[in-house]
């Protein structure tokens, strides 16, 4: 993590695994968000992936292990539920700087953030729909039922510019300019007092109608 005066940049740092969201990485994110929620000097958090991928989603190798290890299966889903709850309930603005493909659970992470800016190399898809449930509710809140169903039922994939067209992201820039654009966005966010940001975020969460206490596969 990199700390600025009033915000934090949190980097998903597993580039060798395309920043796959392992149990360990999910738990690290959950812990970090819990700490930052209590830090009165933090107003916002930027989330970005290391390298050229935002996140390829959950680490599928861990599902292979879970298939033969019941205890790890329980750990995997407990970690998943905690992770989704931590991100969805985080009381301050989250800005996703989508630096490349955001796939499956990586797509979900970008969607659970409040604001998104994308590199021109970004793309968004839910390939896990071919073998399992897809997180639907937070996506529906952003793009509406028609687009959400195209993505989660119909298998549509979005380029960065497609994502801009459906208002999933606020801007598309070339890769070299992504962090500059994200910082510009977060600086606008941080003009507001922290208590105002907390209240506005709470209103947004209530209006979204997504219950963060639901298990992952019920979202």
pLDDT of residue 5: 85
- Cβ 56 vs Cβ 12: under 8 Å: no
- Cβ 49 vs Cβ 12: under 8 Å: yes
pLDDT of residue 4: 80
Closest CA to 28 of 17, 43, 12: 12
pLDDT of residue 3: 80
Q: Could you write out the three-class secondary structure of 168-219?
A: CCCEEECHHHHHHHHHHHHHHHCCCCHHHHHHHHHHHHHHHCCCCCCCHHHC
pLDDT of residue 1: 79
Structure tokens given for 48: 């970005």
Catalytic hit among 128, 150, 174, 184: 128
Catalytic annotation present for 150:
no
Please give the domain boundaries of the chain with CATH numbers for all domains. 2-218 (3.90.226.10)
Q: Is residue 31 within a helix (H) or strand (E), and if so which, with residue range?
A: helix 23-37
Strand 102-103 and strand 171-173: the pairing is unpaired
- Cβ 132 vs Cβ 140: under 8 Å: no
Residue ranges of the chain whose pLDDT lies below 50: none
pLDDT tens sequence across 68-110: 999 999 999 999 999 999 999 999 999 999 999 999 999 999 9
13: left (phi over 0), alpha (psi -120 to 50) or beta: beta
pLDDT of residue 135: 97
């Amino acid at each position: 993590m990199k700390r600025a005066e009033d915000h934090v940049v949190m980097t998903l740092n597993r580039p060798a695994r395309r920043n796959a969201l392992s149990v360990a990485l999910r738990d690290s994110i959950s812990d970090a968000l819990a700490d930052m929620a209590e830090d009165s000097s933090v107003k916002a958090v930027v989330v970005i992936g290391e390298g050229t991928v935002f996140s390829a989603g959950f680490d599928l190798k861990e599902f292979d292990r879970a298939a033969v290890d019941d205890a790890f299966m329980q750990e995997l889903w407990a970690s998943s539920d905690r992770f989704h709850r931590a991100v969805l309930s985080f009381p301050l603005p989250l800005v996703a700087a989508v630096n490349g493909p955001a796939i499956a659970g990586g797509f979900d992470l970008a969607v659970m953030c409040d604001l998104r800016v994308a590199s021109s190399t970004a793309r968004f898809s839910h390939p896990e729909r071919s073998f399992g449930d897809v997180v639907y509710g937070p996506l529906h809140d952003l793009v509406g039922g028609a687009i959400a169903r195209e993505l989660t039922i119909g298998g549509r994939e979005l380029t960065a510019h497609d994502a801009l067209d459906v208002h999933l992201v606020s801007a598309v820039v070339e890769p070299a300019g992504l962090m500059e654009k994200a910082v510009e966005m977060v600086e606008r966010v941080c003009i507001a007092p922290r208590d105002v940001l907390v209240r506005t975020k709470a209103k947004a969460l209530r209006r979204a109608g997504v219950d963060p206490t639901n298990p992952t596969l019920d979202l």
